Every structure is written in structure tokens, then in C-alpha cells.
Structure 1
């Protein structure tokens, strides 16, 4: 018998408010203009909307996994850090992707076609070997021609 975690499909989207893509996470500490600001989560609704206070200003954000956010926020009395440039917050733990506008979860696994996955999932992650295989199957070799060379 499968465990409940195995029975529940997981969201495969990398759009803001869903999963954190590794490039998005990396940029939060490599980008010199990306600043983490002290913040406080004031309330989390079951539909994913929550209020975030930064420097006395309260703004409304959304995440596809409000329970995960609530669990993290509860550990630190709502205290967290916000990185608005890359739509990420952290409550002194794992990064959580947030958005100003909700988008639907995507439960189908990526297809492996980079352009399709970018459009449907908001991003993708693929090994160099898989990318090389993908590009050789989708590109056509240049057409041969019998044109004479110019003198």
C-alpha cells in the first residue's frame, strides 16, 4: 500500500509561488543587488494568500503550499526574511517561493522538451547529457548542396 505522500501528486511548476528552481535560489545570494529584508508573516489563509510586513508596509502574497509556510512561520513566531527580487522568503529554513498573482499547479511531469517545459512549467532542470541528446534529436543537420565555390 502506498503512503499518503506517494498518493498525493506533487506540483512540478517552477513559476513564482510554486517550487524554487535552483537557479532562482542561487541568484538570491550571488546577485549583489538582491537584498534579504527582515519581514514578518501576519496571517496565512488556507487558499495560499498571506500578509507580509516589510519595513512597516503590509503586502499580500501567495504560495501554493500554505501549510508548509505556516509550519515554517510557526517555528519563528512569523519572523522571516524576504527577497522580493526573486520572489522568495525564508523563515530561517528552506526557501519558499511566493507570488503576487497565483497560478495553477502543474502535476504532469516535464516532457523533456526545454521550450515546452519552459512554457508549461515555468522552468526546468535538465542534465547536460540529456540536453545534448534533446538538441540532437530536435535539430536538423544543414542541408547539403552542390553549389560551386566562387572563383
Structure 2
């Protein structure tokens, strides 16, 4: 008899559609939190969020939400295929922990402004994580 599961491994607990709806919800909270953190970090820069480029940040939110949701859905599928030990609680908490990690990665990718001593910040936030900034990198 050929089986797809390893011998002695219990089958994955049955999950309903609500479990897969967790990915877009966690992604939405993570992206919103990362964006709010970005806005607050860059608020003191003239080319930050006050420069009329908020549309770019809103479009970034949509793209990052979509990417985060897809990554979390793939993670959930992997959890269903290879269930971790710990039961149902781990199956619900693991995607939330992954969402928090992705939100921190998103915020890290948006960078922090450089505030030169005695001068104003002349940078702008990146239009997409890890892509650089919209303004010059030094006030000179």
C-alpha cells in the first residue's frame, strides 16, 4: 500500500475556509502597521509623506498587501501539507507570527531618513521597499 504521509504521522487537522481568510486579514494589519510606522518615521522630511507622494505610498500598500497575502497563503498551504507539532493552536499562531515578521521586513525595507546635524532632511521614502529613496541622499 502506497501512502503519501509518513508512517506514524497524524493527518493534518481539518481547516475550513476561515483559516485561509486569515492570510489577507493578517497581511492587511501588517501592511497597515508597517505603513503607519513608515509615515511617522518620514514625517519630518520635506520630501517625506508631506510632498504629495502619498499616492505612491498608497499604491505601495496595495502591492505589498498582495505580495504578503500570497506569501502567507503559501505558508498556510505548507503548514497544511506538513503540519507542525503543537496542534491547532500552532496552525493558527504560525501565520500570525509570519505576518508580523513580514510586516517588520516591509518596514525595514522602507528605510529611515538621514537627519544631518544642523540641516533639514532632504530625503524621501522609497516608492517600494528596498528600492532606494525618491529624494537625494544628502543635504549638500
TM-score class, shorter: under 0.3
Higher relative contact order (CA closer than 8 Å, sequence separation 6+): 2
More strand by share: 1
Larger Rg: 1
- TM-score of the pair, normalised by structure 2: 0.25
